[in-house]
Amino acid sequence: MNLPLFIAFRYLKARRSRHIINWISRISVAGITLGTMALIIVLSAFNGLDHLIRSLFNSFDPEIKITVVEGKTFTVDSTRLESLSKIPGIAMWCSVLEENALLKYGDRQAVATLKGVGSEFERISGIDTMLIDGEFKLEQEGVPMGVMGQELAGQLGIGLNFINPVHVYVPRRTDKIILDPIRAINHRYLFPSGVFAVQQEYDSKYFIVPLDFARDVFGYRKSEISALEVSLNGTARIAQVKADIVRLFGADYKVADRLEQHTEFYRVMAAEKWAIFLILGFILIIASFNTISSLTLLMLEKRADMQMIQGMGARRAAVRRIFLWEGLLVTGIGMVSGLILGVVVCLLQQWLGILRFPSSGSFVVDIYPVRLLFTDFLVVTGMVGLVGLMAAWVPLRVMKKRYFAPGSADE
């Protein structure tokens, strides 16, 4: 241990002649501890929420989605589909047709998005893992069936027996003016087979139906679709597969991975996370003023010691390093304590579920999710260390000419 660090450590343990200095030092350590702990907890909470939402999106959204840049529907020839299946990394694909429709069940009505899908959709999306009632079945003995979101089912008052059909009403696609309102509406019906719960955006919106049923009720041709949803195998590189699909389909089509399908949402989540991080960092900077006060008062108390050490031949830079180490020790103790407490709180949340969502059973999970990431520890450690270094450097910079003996060596 070098001499400045040894003296700083002795100063940190020694009792001060003025008790106010002891209290300010303790407050400095406590402020840094609480600030560091808050940063770890908040970042872990955002990580847990982000991971939960991504997992919910991943259970419904495809790994890659192909849509047309202009218009709502498009037609893909069989040759291009065969070429799509041969791209390395693609496991399977599914044709999809989405449009809005009016649903009627008994005396209740709701506007929803009919999502017509092929038989591959269940394996591509993993929607069967999100079913809370019934089963994923799109047809039974030639009768079309569908699966809808939990909130949409609640709006329509669909119970557990699924014995009554859901009526679907869609405006007829025609250029002619039809005066008879009955003829201007396409009307079909199908039976609900199950209810899924992913997250509110999907639960209140989607009714998954057979692709042929969707084409029939919306009046589209047999080959028309609104999207191709692609599933990849475990060894595929998404960037490479996307590039291959873009070369195959051309600039008239949009190829989006899961992140790009919800770009704005993830951008807002990241902005909220780092905005809270900066706010807590600013609070940490304010708390560091206690360190500045503590070091300033310590310089006043140890002024005679500084002059004596310089008189014994110590250089001015070595004396300054004593108080620099003092500030860094205070910051280090607070930072390590805060990191430990933050980890403990997060682990207790994971194991015991201290913080829970209200109205248990209304959410996908009951316990607020947290997730510890090593990168967050690096960011928090770097920020707290930088704040502590500035807090130790400021009083030395301002007070060195006043409290160091003039004429002593600077190096």
Range among 4-18, 49-63, 312-326 with highest mean pLDDT value: 49-63
Domain termination residue (choose one: 182, 207, 229)? 229
Q: Is 170 found in the same domain as 215?
A: yes
Q: Is 386 found in the same domain as 289?
A: yes
357 pLDDT more than 80: no
Q: Which residues pair with 227 in a beta bridge?
A: 96
Tens of pLDDT, residue by residue over 236-284, are 889 999 999 999 999 899 999 988 888 888 888 888 888 988 888 888 8
407 pLDDT more than 60: no
pLDDT at site 285: 85
Q: Mean pLDDT in the chain?
A: 83
pLDDT at site 411: 46
359 pLDDT more than 70: no
What phi-psi label fits residue 313: left (phi over 0), alpha (psi between -120 and 50 degrees) or beta? left
405 pLDDT more than 60: no
At 409, the pLDDT band (50, 70, 90 cuts) reads very low
Rounded Cα distance between 385 and 328, Å, is 8
Q: Which residue has the higher pLDDT, 293 or 233?
A: 233
Please report whether residue 144 resides in a domain: yes
Domain termination residue (choose one: 201, 229, 257)? 229
DSSP symbols for 202-223: HHTTEEEEEHHHHHHHHT--TT
pLDDT at site 15: 60
Q: Is 309 found in the same domain as 225?
A: no
Please report whether residue 367 resides in a domain: yes
Give the DSSP H/E element, type plus range, for residue 331.
helix 316-352
Tens of pLDDT, residue by residue over 52-75, are 888 877 778 899 999 999 988 999
Q: Is 330 found in the same domain as 219?
A: no
pLDDT at site 287: 78
Please report whether residue 311 resides in a domain: yes
pLDDT at site 20: 63
Q: Is 273 found in the same domain as 361?
A: yes
pLDDT at site 346: 93
Q: Which residue has the higher pLDDT, 367 or 174?
A: 367
pLDDT at site 408: 45
Mean pLDDT of 310-317: 65
Tens of pLDDT, residue by residue over 141-200, are 888 999 999 999 999 988 766 678 999 999 887 656 555 566 778 999 999 999 998 888
Please report whether residue 158 resides in a domain: yes
Domain interval for residue 378:
3-58+265-403
Mean pLDDT of 276-295: 82
Q: Is 218 found in the same domain as 99?
A: yes
Q: Is 178 found in the same domain as 94?
A: yes
Please report whether residue 346 resides in a domain: yes
pLDDT at site 341: 95
Is the CB of residue 12 less than 8 Å from the CB of residue 326? yes
Q: Is 178 found in the same domain as 122?
A: yes
pLDDT at site 175: 54
Please report whether residue 76 resides in a domain: no
pLDDT at site 177: 55
Please, which residues have CB within 8 angstroms of residue 145's CB and are 6 or more apart in sequence?
A: 137, 138, 139, 190, 191, 192, 193, 210
Tens of pLDDT, residue by residue over 212-232, are 999 999 999 888 999 999 999
Q: Is 199 found in the same domain as 112?
A: yes
pLDDT at site 313: 62
Nearest to 399 by CA among 291, 287, 320: 320
Rounded Cα distance between 343 and 382, Å, is 17
pLDDT at site 123: 84
Q: Is 139 found in the same domain as 96?
A: yes
pLDDT at site 224: 92
Rounded Cα distance between 33 and 283, Å, is 12
Q: What is the count of structural domains for the chain?
A: 2
Q: Which residue has the higher pLDDT, 110 or 407?
A: 110
Nearest to 254 by CA among 12, 394, 70: 70
Is the CB of residue 223 less than 8 Å from the CB of residue 75? yes
pLDDT at site 102: 94
Tens of pLDDT, residue by residue over 98-149, are 999 999 998 899 999 999 998 889 888 878 888 888 889 999 888 899 999 9
Please report whether residue 239 resides in a domain: no
pLDDT at site 94: 94
16 pLDDT more than 60: no
Please report whether residue 71 resides in a domain: no
Domain termination residue (choose one: 229, 257, 291)? 229
pLDDT at site 47: 92
Q: Is 210 found in the same domain as 170?
A: yes
Q: Is 279 found in the same domain as 322?
A: yes
